[in-house]
Structure formats: C-alpha cells, structure tokens
Amino acid sequence: MKIVLIKYDVVKECPLCGSLSSKVKTKLSRPSYFFGDLEIPLPESGVFLLECSNCSLLFKSFIPNQEDFMRVMSLSAKKVWHPKKGVHPAVELIKPFFTSETNRVIDIGAANGELLAQLQSYSSCVSALDIVSFPTCVRIVNGEYIIGNIENKITWSGEGYDIVTAFDIFEHFFNPKNAMENISSLLLKNGKLIIETGDWTFFDGNHRSWYYTNLFEHQIFWNQRSIEYLSEKFGFIKLEYNSVQHKNMRNITLRKKILLNLIVKLTLIPWYSKAMLSLGKGDPSRFVPPNLNDHAFIVLKKK
C-alpha cells in the first residue's frame, strides 16, 4: 500500500439545495480510505455524515480537494474498475424504455463500456462520457466519446440523446447542481434519465459502517425525497423509483454469495483487513453483502 496525502475541503452547505441547515447522522468509522493500491488518510477530525434538513440529501462534512481527487483517480481508477463478463445486470431493467424511436444513448461513467456494448442492439448510436479514456470503451463507442467531468463544462456535439444512463455515478458528485444542468442539456425533450445509486434510507444499519459511505470516490447519498427535489428543480418527471440490489450482486452464483458473505463477516476482524491490505489484496470492506437491497433504480423523464 502506498500512502497518499491529500487536502480536504470542508462542506458547509448542502451540495444539492444549498441549505445551511443539516444534522449530523454519524461519523465514518475508518481512519483512512483505500482506493486501488493507495491508502488515503482522512482528516484528523474525521468525516461526518450530514443530512440536509431541506432536501434530505446525505453528504460528507469533508470531501477531497478536486485537484487531489483527480490525481488519485488518474493513478488508480483503472486498477479499481475492471471489465466484467456476461450479461450486464442493468440491461433487463433498461430494455422497457427503448422504443423504435430511441436512436441515441449515452452512458455517464462508462468505464470499460460493458453496458454500452450490450445496448448496441437497441440503439443505432452509443456514446460515452468519462473522466478518463478506457481502451475497450473506445472500440465500442460509435457515437462520441466525451472525456471530461460531468460537473464541469463539457465539449460535445450538441446532438441530444434519447436516453442517458448513470449507474453508480450520482454518489460521486461534488456538485450535483452542475452535473444535472449538464445531464439535462444532453437529453432531448421527453428523454429518459436512468439512474442507479445507493439509497441511504434503504440501509437499516449504522451508516458509519455502510460500505457505500466509506468509499473515497463517494461524496453524497440519495433517497426518494432528495431525488424528488432534484426532479422538481431541473424539470423532470419521476417515472420509477424501486429498491434493488447493487448491480454487481444480481445474478451471481451461490458459491460467490457464500464467499462474499464470509469476506463481509471477516472484515469485522481488524487483523483480517490489515492482512489483506498488507498482501496487496485491496480493501475487503469494499465487498458488498450479497443479499443487501440498498440501491434505487430510478427513471426520470425530461419535460
């Protein structure tokens, strides 16, 4: 493990609605984040999870400095997100929203392009947007490959999309207002925004130990109330909001479920996590309990 020191910025207002009123839910239990082969110490005071009193978004009291965050991403993103084989678990949920008039699709945070590869048979144009380029995704895209941060100014063709997909991306946002303005600009009228993200109200344990809040790359956490606020503010109609498992936990074998359950239990033993990290096996607390329904599948239509 290589220790990387970064700067943190304090968050004083809700990143979504700007409210200065919030309440402390809990404090993260760990002293460091782990990302790929990097150990990233938290601020000395720790990181608190705050719930906005206005829109109910859950957010961190300290977030990585943007420049340092991008530095960490460039060092280890491709070591964390590897290509996955088999049918993408999101395809069956997305298919009902494709019609004969659905011609253009863009995936935000496309990574290796697994989802886009399987959407090619439903759409004549598949495009990607990500902060770095992935070689396998380059070969899949037949539209445009936008390299940039969805929260900043993006350069693109200006041709709108029928569907924008964003799977396990909304929790990464530092500035969800900027992100939504860009996402809205990508969509045609009546276009669909299809989201999967963790819903913090679906997790009934202590959020200080929720694997999702303890990830370096995750800054904010949604629920139905915060999504409804977002929909109203940015001119969307909510079509679906359903509880689901994390996409990587759907359709896994019984053998893998048993193994994951064992790893999750072993992470409660301090020496086990230290041993795995020292052996270069990564942070075992990143593993998802296989039977946990802590995600929301969301479909919004642009007015």
Q: What is the pLDDT of residues 182-202, one digit of tens each?
A: 999 999 999 999 999 999 999
Please tell me whether residues 102 and 240 are part of one structural domain.
yes
Average of per-residue pLDDT values in the chain: 89
Q: Identify the pLDDT of residue 84.
A: 65
Token readout for 104 is: 């253009």
In contact, 126 and 134? CB cutoff 8 Å: no
| Cross-strand pairs, 107 | 128, 165
pLDDT of 282 above 80: no
- Residue 166's pLDDT band (cuts 50, 70, 90): very high
For residue 86, tell me if it sits in a domain.
Answer: no
Helix residue ranges, H only, the chain:
66-80, 91-94, 114-119, 135-140, 176-186, 224-234, 254-266, 270-278
Number of domains in the chain: 3
Cβ neighbours of residue 230 closer than 8 Å, sequence gap 6 or more: 16, 55, 176, 180, 236
Q: How many residues does the chain have?
A: 303
Query: 278-286 — which CB contacts under 8 Å span 24+ positions?
Result: 278/1, 280/1, 280/37, 282/34, 282/36, 282/37, 283/34, 285/30, 285/34, 285/211, 285/214, 286/34, 286/211, 286/215
For residue 68, tell me if it sits in a domain.
Answer: yes
Please tell me whether residues 99 and 141 are part of one structural domain.
yes
For residue 175, tell me if it sits in a domain.
Answer: yes
d(CA 236, CA 186): 13
Query: Which residue range is the domain that position 57 belongs to?
Result: 2-80
pLDDT tens digits for range 2-21: 899 999 999 999 999 999 99
CATH code of 119's domain: 3.40.50.150
Please tell me whether residues 154 and 237 are part of one structural domain.
yes
